[in-house]
Amino acid sequence: MSKLFDVYPLNNIEPVKAKGSYLWDKNGVQYLDLYGGHAVISIGHTHPHYVSKLTEQLNAISFYSNSVQIPQQEELADKLGALSGYPDYRLFLVNSGAEANENALKLASFHTGRQKVVAFKKAFHGRTAGAVAATDNLSIVAPVNYNKHVSFLPFNDLQAIEAGITEETAAVIIEGIQGVGGIKVASEDFLKALRKKCDETGTVLILDSVQCGYGRSGKFFSHQYAGIDPDLITMAKGMGNGFPIGGVLIAPKFEASHGLLGTTFGGNHLACAAGIAVLDVIKQENLIENAAKTGAYLWEGIAGIGGYKELRGRGLMIGIEYDFPVKDLRNRLLFEHKIFTGVAGSNTIRLLPSLALRKEEADIFLEALSKEIGILAL
Ligand code: PMP
């Protein structure tokens, strides 16, 4: 029996090699990766610039601690600020999405002196105590009831936020596009109204961009479609293309004090090298434009095939909801067509490919999907 604590439902596939949008298993079978290990693979697998930056850093120094100068952190913060459009925000580096949200909630509470949090129905913010408390999934919240301070408002409901956000609310936390909740895009009006309501009540607005950020939506952050500036922006997943790294972008009005936030591994040399390499490639290869362009191409192709109940998303974050459970469809795509996709809930296929996805690769999926939908329609 395996010695691993059994928490993940595994596919019986063992990838041993990867390049660009492809994976190979131990038997040499090739798979097209349209899931990117859950939105993590942003620039494509084993990109040469990424491999050489990490190798170089590993040979120089891989880790010390945050008690010394780490100029790579400054380089990463500068490049992230410039590319994301938030050059005057400061960066706190962590190791995961949950940790980024945990720190954002903590900062908001310190900043306002308040305890209450507003989150949204079907939200997913991570599995640690604070993040899971703001996650609308009772099956992963421990009975200790961490979430006694959290209320869940309906997503995209302008009326609900009028009464739901008050001068007692420390933070509103929202995904610009809900990922685990089924690829639901926060409307531009909703995000603007949230910004306004947070300004009126002195509430900190946190945009969880862990899944929808880093260029995936066709802009660096998906909330930029609404033209709003959050107080805190959390990120992880695509930030390291597989190396664990997360961050919180923090608006200038927040005061830092030594010891308030901290983490042993956050901002280590190797993580920074990965983060810098990812930003270099996103910029050099215009991957944000590619996400918008190839995303639109994929969208049109899926719309042409039809057979779904609703198509949702932006850029290369696409959800196809059917009026039947998609487990079989997803398994047929994986085992018959050798294409990795994801699911959200029971009825939605979720696509989160690398931002470097090419049209020819999108075509492979479209052909497979059209065959499967044709079979289902028979
Ligand atoms: N926020 C969102 C929107 C996510 O999708 C996830 C992961 N699925 C998290 C936070 C948690 O990230 P991590 O697993 O890196 O802790």
Cβ of residue 126 lying under 6 Å from some atom of ligand 1: yes
Residue whose CA is at the smallest distance from ligand 1 atom 12: 97
Our mutation pick for probing the ligand 1 site, out of 95, 120, 125, counting the most ligand atoms within 8 A of Cβ, is: 125
The model's pLDDT over 343-373, given as tens digits with 9 standing for 90+, comes to 999 999 999 999 999 999 999 999 999 999 9
List phi, psi (to 5°) of 9.
-75, 115
Residue with tokens 């380089």: 75
Handedness of CA 313, 315, 317, 321 (dihedral sign): positive
Question: By the 8 A CB rule, do 77 and 277 touch?
Answer: no
Question: By the 8 A CB rule, do 219 and 227 touch?
Answer: no
Distance from Cα 342 to the centre of ligand 1, integer Å? 15
The model's pLDDT over 91-123, given as tens digits with 9 standing for 90+, comes to 999 999 999 999 999 999 999 999 999 999 999
Tokens of 276: 């810098």
Residue whose CA is at the smallest distance from ligand 1 atom 1: 125
Distance from Cα 179 to the centre of ligand 1, integer Å? 9
Question: Which residues does 34 contact at the CB level (< 8 Å), separation at least 6?
Answer: 21, 339, 340, 341, 351, 352, 353, 357, 365
Cβ of residue 120 lying under 6 Å from some atom of ligand 1: no
Tokens of 296: 């639109």
Cβ of residue 124 lying under 6 Å from some atom of ligand 1: yes
Cβ of residue 236 lying under 6 Å from some atom of ligand 1: yes
Buried b (16+ CB within 10 A) or exposed e, 55-90: eebeeeeeeeeeeeebebbeebbebbbebbebeebe
Cβ of residue 231 lying under 6 Å from some atom of ligand 1: no
d(CA 350, CA 181): 11
d(CA 350, CA 299): 12
**Predicted local confidence at residue 147, as pLDDT:** 76
Domains of the chain: residue spans and CATH: 48-284 (3.40.640.10)
Radius of gyration of the chain (CA): 20
The model's pLDDT over 57-70, given as tens digits with 9 standing for 90+, comes to 999 999 999 999 99
Q: How many CB atoms lie within 10 A of CB 27?
A: 8
Our mutation pick for probing the ligand 1 site, out of 42, 105, 211, 214, counting the most ligand atoms within 8 A of Cβ, is: 211
**Predicted local confidence at residue 145, as pLDDT:** 63
Report field, pTM of the whole predicted structure over 0.90? yes
Question: By the 8 A CB rule, do 88 and 252 touch?
Answer: yes
Cβ of residue 316 lying under 6 Å from some atom of ligand 1: no
List phi, psi (to 5°) of 314.
-150, 145
| Beta pairing class for 339-340 and 30-33 | parallel
pLDDT, mean over the chain: 96
The model's pLDDT over 6-17, given as tens digits with 9 standing for 90+, comes to 888 778 899 999
Report the atom number in ligand 1 closest to the C-alpha of 237: 15
Q: Which of 293, 354, 285, 318 is nearest to 33 (CA)?
A: 354
Report the atom number in ligand 1 closest to the C-alpha of 175: 3
